[in-house]
Structure 1
């Protein structure tokens, strides 16, 4: 089978590479010629464990190709996946201009049946807009060509995307015809050798499932952060509370960790888009609005603790930050809590020293030289008045506190992910603050 995937961002490149690994002939398309040139020369534009080796392997095998013009492959492929970006518009709604651009290109150039599949995260009702855009172009040409629209949302976790795609816990596909269903089943069958985990729905339901899933996970995070903040006020320990409620099979243990807020390319954007979709239909998403409000407030929680410790006098202090990416195993800093903290600290006159195993270049791209970039975690704490743990990279889990104690000016640790042991830090003379 031959397919095209439009968009070589995170979703498109991972999806295309994994399909090619299963023997599908995949052409990845992007209007960004610089990005395509780099991919053709083996340069991967994103960091994802295992992706670079898999791309090189399948390019060498002749199953994975990169081009800039979708129209050049429409006569060869059976399926076109749309994996272009849907960034939030100024009002929080998803910007569909790139999705509809793809639809128009398809309508202007298709000459045979095609299945057009939305992989991008799009609001409910987008499939109808795609269908109308394609049909309008066909009508302008005065031709009658069959096509189908499907929705196939992605559920990839950054840092574990290859495994998520190759061994999915579910594949959701929204279709409106048996022909489309048969094609999608054939395409995903190689990934189902350990059991059929495909869920076929109508198209609007598939579009909603993606938003509902991300909103639920974001809700659990914000709920625990709210509980953590209350725990601090009443003298409870959120880690014990988490164990207590997580043991309830109706609740479960996952996504119940308190921290300094979520970020990334999905949760913030999708929560905003879901709220906007509801507003457009005259409905108020009260719970989801609260989720967003709690998360934005939580990103400043370490800063607030630092302010309280120094009784508001932090100008001229030096703060070390461990972790810049919104989560481990990625260089993605979109909506990262670290960016909020850095901004607050700099505005307060604080000198900020940072280290992240992967995201240093991305941080410099986003904020320039506003902070001091350090070669390792120990260099970051030199003469620091406080250390903030923001991203729980593995290399941060068991630091040498005895060494760090000698390097810091003041032994204060603010743990934004609750990964350290209070007794161990206090033994080494540290003042320790956690979440909850």
Structure 2
């Protein structure tokens, strides 16, 4: 079959298709030139119709004052320098637990469930407690120790202390050797440590909370710290259920929350106060009864069996004139002692809360930055609380059927306690081992004479 004939070129050498294409390009160019002229004319008309405006001069910005960066050792969480010579270098810190500390706690004996906390009604703290020079240690390089705990171990004394900059220090008191093998410091938190707890059934699992909203688990078997809970609010109070070491009760702002470590989340929450919760404590006998204290000036008693998620109703509300720092049950559970922000201590009868006594004591703490919390010793007769004279008040309590009376004329003093004690922890398994911390980063361990 023959192919179609090729198109004949014109005299200019262009085919019919190329000629039509060139004509279209020329015509489009004429149209675009016309549009550009009309757009220029329209823009000129718009500019002439606008009123003249004054050109604004850029406003001069005021020169900012140079920022003053504080370089003091206090702001860096370091101890003060010696009388002469350069300041000491900060110690190395880690969240990886030292194997020697892990073995010291793991090899210790845990108390049986029936003897989680020992009692001794015949112990006289006024005459039997002494502070030896060897029982003074700096556990953290920061200034203040707002949380303190002696771990529940039968044959060993291990003190844990939390600092105001997030460090946690441990002191294995019974081990021989220098401090490099007895004192350990870690940095699991980024802000002040609010509380440290360890359950007698599982003392190798140590929990701590902080103002930054973290709850950390120190797992000695795995030799590390893990954040188990992170909140946007400060957590200052932490307590474990007596019959369940995996159940953590903590205060988050105005709520009491139950964190179940087995499932890794909060299972229940109750709105308990109108302001921040500062302490949570369980009754030593009735494991369903707990006490809370708050900055709203109240201490509340609760029954977990009847608490509802919304509108929880307390058994009783103990009102105070100032915000409260703590509310702790006595070893028998017959009394509860509260401490307010101004250092006033009140003791209530649990059987009749209208039966209470206010402890008269010297509350002149001046400009001291720390607050006091009174704790019970190993019986219902002794309360321990620091005072501004670098000593410990031993408050004697007497409860009878009709009234409560107290005597505050005994004081523990020592030349080795060079700063004001304001946090205390009684050894749960050894009568006569009382630890207290101060604003100097040191821990003082009082023992039997």
Larger strand fraction of residues:
2
Q: Higher relative contact order by CA 8 Å / sep ≥ 6: 1 or 2? A: 2
The alignment's TM-score, normalised by the length of structure 1, stands at: 0.26
Larger helix fraction of residues:
1
The alignment's TM-score, normalised by the length of structure 2, stands at: 0.26
